[in-house]
Amino acid sequence: METSIPKISTVLKTLLRADFTTQWRNRRAVVLTLIVPVVILALWKVFVEKMGGPFVLSNSITIGLVATGLMGYSNSIARDRDKGIFQRLRVAPLPSWTIMGSRIIVQIVMILLITTFVFIIGKQYDGITLTPLAYVLTYFTALVGGVVYLSIGQMIVGRIQNPETVNSASRFIYFIFIMSGMLGEMYINEVGKTIHDIIVWSPYGTVKTILAAGMEPAKWNNNASMALLATLGYTVVCTTLGIKWFKWNTK
Amino acid sequence: MSKQQDNILTVDGLSISYGSFNAVQNVSFSVRRGEIFGLLGPNGAGKTSTLSAVEGLLKPQAGTILVDGNNAVSKPLHARASLGVQLQSTSFQPELFVIEVLQLYAGVYGVPASKADLMGILREINLEDSAMKKFGELSGGQQQRVSLVIATIHNPKLVLLDEPTTGLDPQSRRQLWERIEAIRERGHAVLLTTHSMEEAESVCDRIAIIDHGRVIAVDTPQGMIDKHRDDPEVIAVSRRGRITLEDVFIALTGKAIRS
Ligand SMILES: Nc1ncnc2c1ncn2[C@@H]1O[C@H](COP(=O)(O)OP(=O)(O)OP(=O)(O)O)[C@@H](O)[C@H]1O
Ligand SMILES: [Mg+2]
């Protein structure tokens, strides 16, 4: 009997099938993550006139991305690690990166689906349409934005072992992001300049900025480029720390 | 065949520590092709840690591990390809059906298997009807059977089983031992841990007793009994008129219960 290492392509294909199946079986949880984006589209219909479609769409997509990347991803990783699911996979002859790689690919598909979903509801309910170039650019900025939340999720599961603590930590950050997004934007005068700046340059604000800018490519300015750089910077830092801290088992 | 080639697994001078705690210290033993080798020891002795190093789940502080000639640290994928593993506590994605879990592991071990092949595997362990159940919906013994077929799905040269009989009823236990012996009949080796001295005595070709992270004896079960049958400590703990492996085990590792 010959012992041979399975091909990476076979391994990845198999992992992807299992991870997509898992994601599909959890579709109710995914639907829940779409509630807040939909609520924004519904309640903020009145702002479309005043603030513009990109303002509403970018907030809705940002919240959706935070929910899936930061909460969905980190919670599923924390749970599977705690159950020993990763350890069992890791004693198979596969490089560890394929396990995470497959999970990340599933998340990237989720990012694209959420973005598409918001586009559709935004068009149907709020009557917001973008130019074809703007749609393409927004898919790109949504990917960049979605990935920064994945990296924050990675940092949370890197730092925190206990799945319940991961859950509350990610919920807490999600809550902060929602509050700062909703209130900070509306009550600029009340919150003061410093807090406003913090919100604008937080991973919440920068993602919202690049999303909105991508929806109106003609208005892409220096500020948007800085926000893009900041988003990429956050991603690099959080990914590095998230991988460095990460342990495959909770024991 | 040289001695090296006779061994499917060689562990030499293995040391493992968690922080400043030395869980495994200078452990050496080897498993020959086609033998059932038992790693016995009280709770916390370092059995699972030793297996984890063989599986490549943790990096040892010192020592060499060769699985079928492949260094577990420098060539982990080659080493793991020859290994089938059942961990002490195994869990699979709770969202997946049993048949999908089998499909996943056939895939990651590079075993081409159709749905019909996988159903055949389930039929062999009398779980054909559970193909569309979630793993968590199976009873403990059924879960155990599934994780054993997954451990052997790629017909590995060495199967590592960490306490495979814990929690099984007598029927399942008996069946499990038959399956383990069938692996040996195919010429493949099994390295297992168990707390049942009776089982180890009747099934294992050789055993190592490990305590406080050190190997204190390696022998055949009978050899170990014969060697120690006249020790006063062994006679003192013996209760049945005849000396058993359990008597020797308790005499060698002491009566105190481990934390
Ligand atoms: N991840 C870890 N961090 C710290 N200490 C650990 C860790 N894993 C094991 N230990 C300690 O190392 C020692 C050996 O543990 P191990 O799990 O190898 O024992 P064992 O022989 O398998 O025991 P059991 O029969 O109870 O399964 C124990 O004292 C345990 O507390
Ligand atoms: Mg153990």
Q: Is residue B80, in this structure, part of any structural domain at all? A: no
Question: Which one, of A175, A177, A169, lies nearest residue A75 by Cα?
Answer: A169
Query: Is B100 in Cβ contact with A89 (below 8 Å)?
Result: no
Which residue type, as a one-letter code, is found at position B205? D
Q: Is residue B75, in this structure, part of any structural domain at all? A: no
In residues, how long is chain B? 259
Handedness of CA B65, B68, B73, B77 (dihedral sign): negative
> pLDDT tens digits, residue range B48-94?
999 999 999 999 999 999 999 999 999 999 999 999 999 988 789 99
Nearest CA in chain B to A80: B93
Q: What is the DSSP letter of A248?
A: S
- Looking at the fold, whether B162 and B241 belong to one and the same domain comes out as yes
Can you tell me the mean pLDDT for B210-225?
Answer: 94
Q: Whose CA is nearest to atom 9 of ligand 1?
A: B49
- Looking at the fold, whether B239 and B162 belong to one and the same domain comes out as yes
- Looking at the fold, whether B134 and B162 belong to one and the same domain comes out as no
Q: Which two tokens stand for residue B163?
A: 């306490």
B1 pLDDT exceeds 60? Answer: no
Q: Residue B255 belongs to a domain with what CATH number? A: 3.40.50.300
| pLDDT given at position B151 | 95
- Looking at the fold, whether B64 and B101 belong to one and the same domain comes out as no
A18 reaches B (C-beta below 8 A): yes
- Looking at the fold, whether B132 and B105 belong to one and the same domain comes out as yes
Q: Is residue B171, in this structure, part of any structural domain at all? A: no
Name residues 4-33 of chain B within 8 A of A (Cβ).
none
Give the whole-angstrom CA distance, residue B143 versus residue B90: 9
Q: Is residue B76, in this structure, part of any structural domain at all? A: no
HEC letters along A40-54: HHHHCHHHHHHHCHH
pTM value is 0.90
Q: Report how far ligand 1's centroid is from the alpha carbon of B49 (Å).
A: 6
- Looking at the fold, whether B198 and B224 belong to one and the same domain comes out as yes
Segment B76-79 long-range contacts (CB within 8 Å, at least 24 positions apart): B77/A5, B77/A93, B77/A94, B77/A95, B78/A3, B78/A5, B78/A93
- The residue range of the domain holding B23 is 1-68+158-166+181-259
- Looking at the fold, whether B162 and B45 belong to one and the same domain comes out as yes
- Looking at the fold, whether B234 and B192 belong to one and the same domain comes out as yes
B191 pLDDT exceeds 50? Answer: yes
- Looking at the fold, whether B115 and B188 belong to one and the same domain comes out as no
Output the tens digit of pLDDT for each of chain A's 251 residues: 446 899 999 999 999 999 999 999 999 888 888 888 999 899 888 888 888 889 899 999 999 999 998 899 999 999 999 999 999 999 999 999 999 999 999 999 999 999 999 999 999 999 999 999 999 999 999 999 999 999 999 999 999 999 999 999 999 999 988 887 777 666 666 667 788 888 889 999 999 999 999 999 998 999 999 999 999 999 999 999 999 999 998 87
Q: Which two tokens stand for residue A183?
A: 């209130």
Q: Report how far ligand 1's centroid is from the alpha carbon of B9 (Å).
A: 22
Q: Is residue B7, in this structure, part of any structural domain at all? A: yes
Domain count, chain B: 2
Q: Is residue B123, in this structure, part of any structural domain at all? A: yes
B110 to chain A: which residues are within 8 Å by CB? 4-7, 10-11, 93
Q: Report how far ligand 2's centroid is from the alpha carbon of B89 (Å).
A: 9
| pLDDT given at position A187 | 67
Domain boundary among B122, B156, B190: B156
**What is the nearest CA distance from B42 to chain A, expressed in angstroms?**
19
| pLDDT given at position A186 | 65
Question: Which one, of B27, B4, B3, B31, lies nearest residue B15 by Cα?
Answer: B27
Q: Which two tokens stand for residue A250?
A: 């909770």
- The 10 Å CB-count burial string (b at 16+, else e) for B153-191 is bbebbbbbbbbbbeebeeebbebbbebbeebbeeebbbb
Rounded to the nearest integer, the mean pLDDT of chain B is 91
Query: Is B83 in Cβ contact with A91 (below 8 Å)?
Result: yes
Q: Is residue B64, in this structure, part of any structural domain at all? A: yes
Query: Is A91 in Cβ contact with B55 (below 8 Å)?
Result: yes
| pLDDT given at position B6 | 84
